[in-house]
Amino acid sequence: MIRSPNRSVALRVAIAMSCAAAMTACSDDPATGNAAENRATSETLAAALAGTDGFSTASRALVETGLAPVFDGPGTYTLLAPDDDAFGALGAAGEALMAEDQRAVLVALLRNHIVPGQIDAESVRDAIEARGGTVRMRTLGGGSLSFALDGERLVVSREGQRAEIDTAREVIASNGAFLPIDAVLVRPPAPVSSPG
């Protein structure tokens, strides 16, 4: 499907601007996947994440690992942001990730939730429609994420880990976007009986 600038971009930018001015959600219809209608903000990605309920763990992780300035900066990124429940579901492994001596491990996990540029649910759906199936985006961690439709739901997966994108809560920030997901896409390193 070819994205029509007249149909899509101009309208969405205009909506985004109006939403940004109001700093409120313009739509809560997850079926449409219209990102700009959901929430657009003049805040940076880091600030928007920090100010959104349910993402305190992800936000804290960015701050403690030193990645937050990246999302306050000039580069444009999209974060597939696991919500607090998603991190909670990791259990002890998730808690261990937050330890100071595990920050490099946590950074590696986070980098595989970051893709270059600014994507939103509508862009993802358009790409899936154009390709007739699964589409991929590379991550800033060296791998890639696969996006697909499960019925009307948008899902993202990586190496067997799968999450649903909460399109109703996606946020378009001034320098990127974040797409809420309900699971962590990277499995923390598993214990082994001995080195190697």
Partner 1 sequence: MRTFIAGVATIALAATIAHGQPGKSEDKGGGNGRPAAERGNDHAGHGRSDADRPGQGAQPAAKRDDSGAPRPDAVAERGNGGGGERREERSNRDRNDEERAARTATRAPAPARATEERIRSGWPKRSEQAAHASVAGRVIERVEYARFGRNGQSLVPGCPPGLARRGNGCMPPGLARQAQRDYRPAYFGYTGLDEGRYYYGSGYLYRLGANDRVSGFIPLLGGALGVGESWPSFYEPVQLPPYYVEYFNLGDAPGYRYADDVIYRVDPDTSTITSIAALLTGDTFGVGQPKPDGYDIYNVPYDYRERYADSDDAHYRYADGYIYQVDPTTQLISAVIELVA
Interacting residues with partner 1 (CB under 8 A): 2-5, 8-10, 12-13, 16, 36, 42, 44, 65-67, 69-70, 72-78, 101, 103-108, 111, 114-119, 123-124, 126-127, 131, 135-138, 140-144, 147, 172, 174-176, 186, 188-196
Q: At its nearest, how many Å lie between partner 1 and the CB of residue 107?
A: 3
Residue identified by tokens 């992780």 is 61
Nearer to partner 1, 100 or 150 (CB): 100
Q: At its nearest, how many Å lie between partner 1 and the CB of residue 75?
A: 5
Q: Residue 139 half-sphere exposure, CB side, CA atoms within 13 Å? A: 23
Dihedral of alpha carbons 165, 153, 116, 187, sign: positive
Nearer to partner 1, 54 or 111 (CB): 111
Name the nearest CA neighbour of 83 among 58, 61, 63, 52.
Answer: 58
Nearer to partner 1, 25 or 54 (CB): 25
C-alpha to C-alpha distance for 54 and 95, rounded to whole angstroms:
17
Nearer to partner 1, 52 or 78 (CB): 78
106 to 7, 12, 54, 62, 124: CA distances (angstroms): 40, 34, 19, 9, 26
Q: At its nearest, how many Å lie between partner 1 and the CB of residue 101?
A: 7
Q: At its nearest, how many Å lie between partner 1 and the CB of residue 34?
A: 13
Find out whether 183 and 82 touch, Cβ atoms under 8 Å: yes
Nearer to partner 1, 41 or 52 (CB): 41
Q: At its nearest, how many Å lie between partner 1 and the CB of residue 29?
A: 20
C-alpha to C-alpha distance for 156 and 146, rounded to whole angstroms:
5
